[in-house]
């Protein structure tokens, strides 16, 4: 029998291929089914678990705080330094599960009102981050941690500490809760002090705790240190003596500046009343204002030595010139008076007795522009450029508007104003043989920005005249510096108001230098509204000058040059 079936190899191959195709398709279907089942399992059945695991591990970028630079005095003693502290924060959503007694225990440790944290939690139950205490002592933070409350965490920060407290508070200033300078040198040198924060990537858990550092993105750069010209030993001395004077004289306030007569460095700058930058709760703005640098007053008779020097240098008078005063001097409808009728005086006596009439006669001999230019060169109406923020400039009336009586009042310190710093700076022109110095709050060896205002001969002559002010016949015997020669000038200026000058409110002022032959220090003192009875500069401000100058010269180991004044200290007691 014949077999007509096709038994060719091609037919058999087709059948084999068809079987393999079915097998592959079936296998793919199985894989697809497995993937669908897995997807359902992950996205439906275990959804909450996976979300929780994702929340438990988050990659985050965090800032790394930079260490704020230290502020130092000229001897390297710290005036402002950053210390590590911790800030306590909570996750209110988690803390709700804690016992109320434990929360109250934490409130007590942190000094928070009873129930305050629970109140915060109820305000927004969904909130996950809230600071409850910033920059607390690490030991206190550790006691909080030991409570082991769920949702309570701590992070490291820096807190500014001021070792000298109120002694240098007005000068140094302070930072805010975020360690950013707000006043004083902390504010003025903020960019230099704060440094540059770094950053890093970390893994956080669901409680925002850092569980692993991944990598450093940038390293923090610490702020630069600030080395001041201030000598904290002199600063403390000046602070205490000014405090005593303000309290004893029941004054409104006081300010004092000590300058190095050779290079213009500011060795001390103090104010009263003071404040402690470490504890400044409910601090009024006026209390932390640095009056020595930022407030102005009419300097009164403390400018008379400049008028004498200008007249001598310009050839308008000589040291032997005589002035017939007789107690009053009429200028048009106005009258200039002295406290006593001194009769006829030479130039030296005009200074020692602080004669308004005598310096008025000198002023009227000089062209207005000439005296104005002298005042301007001395720094009146010009910023002292110390680098302190908010420094006062002061004003001086345009000479083109001076009438004859204006020329008189300008000679005895009315019609212009000055800060204590500006007044002290102006005295460098007398102390350093006619050379006016710039001033600096930063330590330096030399002053590269000097200006000659008077001749050396004139400056030395006026200094010797000013020495008589501290004699028994002068206006400031209380300014005598035991063991040292000294020269200076008193000032008693009425306070100006919108309604004119007050009769019973005064500025008591003294500015001077020592030793006379080769001055090392200049001190300017201003006491505002003394009300205990005395108000003259020679009785209120001069004693402060004496005590601070004597102590400061000893601190600097300046050799005494006038031992015959040593008994003065015992006489005063």
Residue 507 pairs in a beta bridge with 493, 528
- Residue 358 contacts residue 323 (beta carbons within 8 Å): yes
**274 catalytic, yes or no?**
no
Please, which residues have CB within 8 angstroms of residue 362's CB and are 6 or more apart in sequence?
307, 308, 311, 316, 317, 323, 350, 411
Task: Report long-range pairs for 381-384 (Cβ below 8 Å, ≥24 apart).
Answer: 381/416, 384/293, 384/419, 384/421, 384/422, 384/425, 384/438, 384/439
List the one residue out of 418, 400, 447 whose CA is nearest residue 526. 418
> Active site residue: 274, 301, 352, 485, which one?
301
Query: Rounded to whole angstroms, how far apart are CA atoms 513 and 520?
Result: 7
Task: Residue 152: name the closest of 203, 201, 86 by CA.
Answer: 86
Buried b / exposed e along 187-196 (16+ C-beta atoms within 10 A): bbbbeebbbe
State phi, psi for 399 to the nearest 5 degrees.
Answer: -60, -25
DSSP E strand stretches across 46-95:
58-64, 71-72, 78-90
**Contact (CB, 8 A) for 196 and 220:** yes
* SS (HEC) of 505-570: EEEEEEEEEECCCCCCEEEEEEEECCCCCCCCHHHHCHHHHHHHHHHHHHHCCCCCCEHHHCHHHH
Count how many Cα atoms sit within 13 Å of the Cα of residue 155 in the half-sphere of its side chain. Answer: 14
Q: What whole-number distance in Å separates Cα of residue 316 and Cα of residue 380?
A: 22
Tokens of 264: 């213009």
Q: Provide the pairing of β-strand 253-260 with 266-272.
A: antiparallel
Alpha carbon 500 to its chain's center: 33
Q: In the structure encoding, which two tokens stand for residue 272, read together?
A: 């009263």
Which residues are marked as active site? 301
């Amino acid at each position: 029998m014949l077999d007509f079936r096709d038994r060719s190899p091609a037919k058999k191959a087709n059948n084999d291929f068809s079987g393999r195709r079915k097998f592959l398709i079936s296998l793919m279907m199985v894989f697809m089914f497995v993937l669908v089942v897995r997807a359902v399992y992950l996205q439906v059945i275990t959804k909450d678990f996976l979300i929780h695991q994702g929340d438990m591990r988050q990659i985050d970028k965090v800032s790394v705080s930079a260490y704020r630079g230290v502020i130092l005095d000229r001897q390297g003693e710290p005036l402002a330094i950053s210390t590590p502290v911790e800030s306590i924060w909570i996750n209110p959503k988690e803390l709700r599960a804690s016992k109320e007694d434990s929360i109250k225990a934490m409130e007590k440790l942190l000094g928070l009102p009873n129930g305050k944290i629970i109140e915060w939690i109820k305000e927004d139950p969904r909130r996950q981050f809230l600071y409850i205490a910033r920059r607390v002592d690490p030991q206190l933070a550790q006691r909080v941690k030991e409570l082991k409350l769920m949702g309570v965490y701590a992070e490291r920060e820096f807190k500014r500490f001021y070792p000298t407290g109120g002694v240098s508070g007005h000068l140094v200033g302070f930072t805010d809760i975020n360690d950013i300078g707000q006043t004083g040198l902390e504010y003025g040198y903020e960019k230099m002090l704060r440094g540059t924060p770094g950053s890093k990537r970390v893994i956080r858990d669901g409680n925002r705790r850092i569980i692993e550092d991944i990598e450093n993105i940038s390293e923090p750069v610490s702020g630069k240190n600030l080395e001041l010209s201030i000598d904290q030993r002199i600063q403390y001395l000046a602070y205490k003596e000014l405090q005593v004077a303000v309290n004893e004289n029941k004054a409104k306030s006081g300010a004092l500046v000590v300058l190095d007569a050779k290079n213009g460095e500011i060795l001390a700058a103090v104010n009263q009343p003071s404040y402690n930058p470490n504890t400044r709760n409910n601090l009024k703005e006026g209390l932390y204002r640095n009056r020595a640098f930022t407030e102005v007053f009419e300097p009164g008779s403390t400018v008379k030595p400049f008028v004498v020097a200008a007249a001598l240098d310009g050839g308008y008078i000589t040291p032997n010139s005589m002035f017939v005063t007789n107690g009053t001097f009429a200028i048009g409808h106005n009258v200039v008076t002295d406290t006593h009728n001194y009769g006829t005086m030479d130039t030296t006596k005009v200074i020692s007795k602080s004669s308004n009439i005598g310096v008025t006669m000198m002023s009227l001999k000089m062209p207005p522009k000439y005296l104005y230019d002298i005042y301007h060169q001395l720094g009146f109406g010009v910023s002292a450029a110390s680098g302190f923020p908010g420094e006062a400039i002061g004003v001086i009336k345009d000479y083109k508007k001076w009438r004859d009586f204006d020329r008189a009042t300008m000679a005895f310190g009315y019609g212009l104003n000055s800060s204590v710093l500006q007044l002290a700076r102006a005295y460098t022109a007398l102390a350093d043989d006619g050379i006016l110095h710039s001033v600096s709050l930063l330590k330096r060896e030399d002053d590269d920005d000097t200006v000659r205002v008077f001749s050396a001969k004139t400056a030395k002559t006026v200094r010797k005249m000013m020495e008589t002010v501290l004699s028994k016949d002068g206006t400031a015997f209380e300014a005598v510096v035991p063991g040292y020669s000294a020269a200076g000038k008193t000032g008693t200026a009425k306070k100006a108001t919108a309604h004119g000058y007050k009769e019973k409110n005064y500025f008591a002022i003294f500015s001077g230098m020592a030793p006379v032959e080769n001055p090392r220090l200049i001190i300017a003192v201003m006491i505002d509204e003394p009300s205990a009875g005395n108000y003259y500069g020679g009785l209120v401000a001069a004693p402060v000058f004496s005590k601070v100058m004597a102590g400061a010269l000893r601190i600097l180991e300046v050799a005494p040059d006038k031992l015959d004044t040593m008994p003065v200290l015992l006489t005063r007691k």
